[in-house]
Chain A
Amino acid sequence: MSLNFQLISGDGVKFDDDVYEVLVPTKDGVIAIAEDHMPLLSAGAPGVLSIRHRSSDPARDMEHFAVYGGILQIEGKSARFITDDVTTSEEVGEREAQEAMERAQKLVETADSRQALDEAKQVVQAHTARLHLAQLKRRHHR
């Protein structure tokens, strides 16, 4: 039982392999996809996308990426997530992510217009995803 999964960003194909299961953040919440999932197009949301390579893999062996919205496209034995930017676990550190998160929260507090507030909230969502990714990395490397 395997599903071919592709993670595509502006920086090209970030992941392309056969996997057992993928947990994808969407606007309806996180959904799990596996082989023979019904054809689906779903609006992605900022969050952590997790890949389980084999059914026997424990949670600590899952591969994680931070994504910032996009489109999930599923067609039976293949699926792809298309997003403008992807952050891998190697690219993020917990302390920097925490500091960036605090700066983003300050932006929300100091926003002086509706547009500035919406933009600041998007920045917070992106940094929440990065922070979550950094925390997962620490937890699995203990």
Chain B
Amino acid sequence: MAQTQVLKRRIRSVSNTQQITKAMELVAATKMRRVQDAAVKARVYNDAAITALRRLSANVEVKYNPFFRPTGQTKLYIIFTSDRGLAGAYNANIFNSAGAGFAADKKSTARPAVVVYGRKGARHFARGTNIDLLGAYENIPDIPDINIFAPVIDTIIDGVSGGKLGAIDLIYTESISTLNNRIQTLKLVPIQPPAEPEVGKKSADIVYELEPNAEEVLASTTKLYLESSLWRARIEAAASEHAMRMISMNNANRNAGDLIDGLTLELNATRQAAITQEMAEIISAAEAIT
């Protein structure tokens, strides 16, 4: 009887956990759908900025622009992690990717600099002894105000123009689909716009007038490119986080179901054994009397 009570208690406890994981899965699914819509829009914005940058990359001024030919020694990593856990290997994958980057940079004389978004990353990189943590931002909304990136953009512009930063990598999780999320390391600086995907007349064949002058247009386009890349990375990272949390909560939910099934079987067998034993005792008692 005591054994049945223990099993019943365990089943109740696992059922309660299953209810929580089910609720978390539903919440993550709702948030994911909202953020995935925003991610589509952010890609359009970022692609448009890259196209404008590609049009400029043929200009002679680019040869002397520090964003295309940086002179600094320090490499800056901008890393997007999550504020909360329970999203499978979401943060661990990011930390591994960043760690691999730091290890590759060991040959360089300057220590890598890091700007991190998300509480998990802030705690992880605060413990790092071989890096300079320039900034850690927590509780960033899934779809933030674009001005939230103003401080890091100022750091980038000052660092690259001042000859301090030589390269900038953006590490985030890209949302390919709900089930497919992969780590993306985007080389923000030196700027290398991806090859022209369009067919027909190539942009290099078109001569563009630049107003008010090449320097101002380059500055505006570079700022737009940095801003849109950070904006896109944040939204992609949030979409992946919710997708991975949804998957991991679904797995937890399924595991809890399996556990409940196993415990229920065990409970039934135990109860049946008790009944059989009771019946055997009654029969043997009856036989003893007669």
Contact = CB atoms under 8 A, between A and B. Distances in A.
Interface in A83-122: 83-85
A8 B211 contact: no
A76 to B, nearest CB: 9
Contacts of A42: 210-212, 217
Nearest to B45: A10
Contacts of A71: 49, 52, 217, 220-221, 224
A28 B217 CA distance: 12
Nearest to A8: B48
B224 to A, nearest CB: 6
Interface string A35-59: 0001111111000000000000000
Contacts of B56: 41
Contacts of A40: 208-211
Interface string B31-58: 0000000001110110011011001100
Interface in A62-98: 69-71, 73, 75, 80, 82-85
Interface residues of B, number: 28
Given A10-B228, A27-B216, A82-B52, A41 B208 contact: yes
A38 B41 CA distance: 29
A93 B76 CA distance: 43
A70 B224 CA distance: 7
B227 A84 contact: yes
A43 B216 contact: yes
B231 interface: yes
Nearest to B221: A71
B146 A43 contact: no
A28 B212 contact: yes
Contacts of B207: 39
A41 B51 CA distance: 11
A10 B148 CA distance: 13
Nearest to B46: A10
Contact of B146 (A10, A75, A82): A10
Contact of A84 (B52, B146, B216, B221): B146
User: Per DSSP, are chain A's interface residues mostly helix, strand or loop, or mixed?
Assistant: strand
Given A10-B41, A13-B44, A70 B146 contact: no
Nearest to A115: B154
Nearest to B210: A41
A66 to B, nearest CB: 15
Contacts of B212: 26-28, 42-43
Contacts of B52: 41, 71, 73, 82
Contact of A73 (B40, B41, B55, B146): B55
Nearest to B44: A12
Contacts of B48: 6, 8, 80, 82
Given A10-B231, A43-B216, A71-B217, A38 B224 contact: no
B206 interface: yes
Nearest to B201: A75
B206 A12 contact: no
A83 B52 CA distance: 12
A2 interface: no
Nearest to B145: A85
A9 interface: yes
Nearest to A37: B209
A10 B146 CA distance: 8
A42 B52 CA distance: 10
Contacts of A38: 209
Interface string B193-214: 0000000000000111111100
23 contacts: A8-B48, A12-B40, A12-B44, A13-B41, A26-B211, A28-B211, A38-B209, A39-B209, A40-B208, A40-B209, A40-B211, A42-B212, A43-B219, A69-B220, A70-B220, A70-B224, A71-B52, A71-B217, A71-B220, A80-B48, A82-B45, A84-B231, A85-B146
